[in-house]
Chain A
C-alpha cells in the first residue's frame, strides 16, 4: 500500500539533483564575485549553508523510507550527517559565531565521507547498471573534489578553489539527473538488475 504511493527512488535523486544544482550556481556566483561583494547583502551568506543544512534534514526521510539494506541505510545516514555538519558549520561562520577559517574543513570532510560511502555501499561492478556506474563515478568524483574545500580552508580567497568546489555540485547534479532505477550504462545491463524502464 505505502509502496504504491511512494515516489520512485529516481525521483528523489532528481529532487536532490535540483537542490545541488542551485547550490552549485550559488557557490559559482560567490566564487566569481568574491566574498566581499557576496556579503554585501547578509541574506546571501545564508543561502548555501542553509540549503545544505535543509538537504541534510531531508536526507533522513530518504534514509528511512528508501533504503533496502543496512549498508544502504548507513550510507544515506552518513550523507545526512555530513550535509548537516557542513551546513551548520558554514551557518556558524556566516553568522559570525564561528571565526576560524578551518571550519571550512568540514566541507572537505563531508566530501571524503560522502565519496567513501558511495564507494563502500555500491556492491556491484561499474557496468552492472547505470545506478552502479553512477555510484562509482560519484564516489571517486567526491574524493577527488574534496581537495578544493581543503584548499579553500587554507586559502579562503582562492577563486580556483572556490570555483572547483562549486563545479563539484554542478557535476553532482548532472550525475544525479542521469540516475534511473534500472537502466543500461553504455549498452551494458546485468541480467540480475531487473527489467529496465524509460
Chain B
C-alpha cells in the first residue's frame, strides 16, 4: 500500500468518524427539544400556578377551564417528542 493511499484512507476514516459524531449529537439535540419544551411548561406552571385553573376550578368559567397555557406548552413538547423526534433520530442513523 502506498503512503499516499494510506493517508487518504485515514483521512476518509477520520471524516466518517466526525460525521457519525456530528449526526449522533444532532440526534441527541432533536430528542432533547421535546423534553426541554415540557420543562419550560412545567417551570411556567410552577411559577404561575394560577394559570392552571384546573388546580382550583371552583367559580371558573368554561373558557378559563379550557385554556391552560402551561399545559399547552407541555402538550406541544410531548407531541414533538413522541411523534416527530423518534423518526428523525432514526433517519439520522440511516444516513450513509
Contact = CB atoms under 8 A, between A and B. Distances in A.
Nearest to B26: A32
Contacts of A102: none
B63 A25 contact: no
A96 interface: no
B95 A21 contact: no
A40 B84 CA distance: 12
Contacts of B82: none
B72 A37 contact: no
B73 A21 contact: yes
Secondary structure class of chain B's binding surface, majority of residues: helix
A14 B30 contact: no
Interface string A68-94: 000000000000000000000000000
Contacts of A38: 88
Contacts of B94: 40
Contacts of B30: 29, 32-33
A11 interface: yes
Contacts of B29: 32
Interface in B67-94: 67, 69, 72-73, 75-77, 79-80, 84-85, 87-88, 91-92, 94
Contacts of B66: 7
Interface residues of A, number: 24
A46 interface: no
A190 B94 CA distance: 58
Interface string B16-28: 0000000000100
Nearest to B62: A5
Contacts of A36: 95
17 contacts: A7-B66, A7-B67, A15-B72, A22-B76, A25-B33, A25-B37, A25-B76, A25-B80, A25-B84, A26-B80, A29-B84, A29-B85, A32-B26, A33-B26, A33-B91, A41-B91, A44-B87
Given A22-B79, A44-B87, 11 more contacts: A17-B72, A18-B72, A22-B76, A22-B80, A25-B33, A25-B34, A25-B37, A32-B30, A33-B26, A33-B30, A33-B92
